[in-house]
Amino acid sequence: MTERVSAWALDGIPEIEPGADLAQLIGDAIVSDGGGCLDGDILIVTSKIVSKAEGRIVEASDREDAITAETVRVVATRAFEGGVTRIVENRLGIVGAAAGVDASNTADGTVLLLPVDPDASARGLTAALRARFGVRLGVIVSDTLGRAWRIGQTDVAIGAAGVQVVDDLRGSTDAQGRPLNVTVPVVADELAGLGDLVKGKASGRPVAVVRGMGRLVTDEVDTPGARTLPRTGPTDMFRLGTDEAYRLGLAGEKLE
């Protein structure tokens, strides 16, 4: 039995203002788009519009200062011609450049911070849209993130509700009957990436619908969210950049 997945970006989401009822606007766009949600649909919502609705726009003459304010821990920095790249952990545990501070698609002199609690944002959207459409659906709040050892970025899940974030294969077996116990596919990140493929970056279409992955949608709204996805702390083999760790050692300082 082959699952057929389809995905598309919704037209008709207006520019989001602080205080906007995002669930209402997304629901209206779904209705305009063709008549509603099916059971098992997953919505991929760009974090930027969640932030805007939640009023996370702050004045910042300097984006770098805003990044500093959102940073819990600096992992690595590297000067390059024209600036400094800082890889930092933000308060959501996400490690990346710029701490989720976004200065694109915002008014000059302002930056957009990530939602305070993207899993809670996803739960709110999920509950409201399930009530409106009377079906089980899931919501993933996505953001664009770089990664170590590979160029560029992909979209990943920073918030989730009503949908499994990992496809837990522990207990399953491969075609030879041996346990597949090492692999933990992070389906929430793959769904966020699919959202990016259909939304694009410059399109003004911040919400995608993914249809046909209902096996990942849960009865409950309140599921282990994207907050479970970052790996930080003692099991993180890259909690400090190479140069930073080396310099600590050279100076005889203690490594946390």
Give the footprint of a second copy on residues 100-139 (CB under 8 A).
104-107
Residues 227-246 that bind a second copy (CB under 8 A): 228-232, 235-246
Residues 148-177 that bind a second copy (CB under 8 A): 148-156, 166-167, 169, 172-176
**How far, in Å, CA of 110 to CA of 103, rounded?**
7
Task: Give 59 or 242: the residue with its C-beta nearer to a second copy.
Answer: 242
Stretch that binds a second copy, among 5-13, 18-26, 54-62, 132-140 (CB under 8 A): 5-13
61 binds a second copy (CB under 8 A): no
Residues 14-33 that bind a second copy (CB under 8 A): none
**How far, in Å, CA of 50 to CA of 123, rounded?**
12
**How far, in Å, CA of 14 to CA of 107, rounded?**
16
* Tokens read off for 80: 């390059």
36 binds a second copy (CB under 8 A): no
Supply angle C-alpha 59, 64, 66, rounded to 5.
Answer: 40
Residues 187-226 that bind a second copy (CB under 8 A): 187, 189-191, 193-194, 196-198, 200-202, 204-205, 213
Q: Which residues contact 115 (CB under 8 A, 6 or more apart)?
A: 47, 50, 51, 54, 56, 121, 141, 158, 159
Contact, 140 vs 157, CB < 8 A?
A: yes
Task: Give 174 or 220: the residue with its C-beta nearer to a second copy.
Answer: 174
6 binds a second copy (CB under 8 A): yes
Total of chain residues touching a second copy, rule CB under 8 A: 85
Q: Kindly report the number of other CB atoms within 10 A of residue 16's CB atom.
A: 19
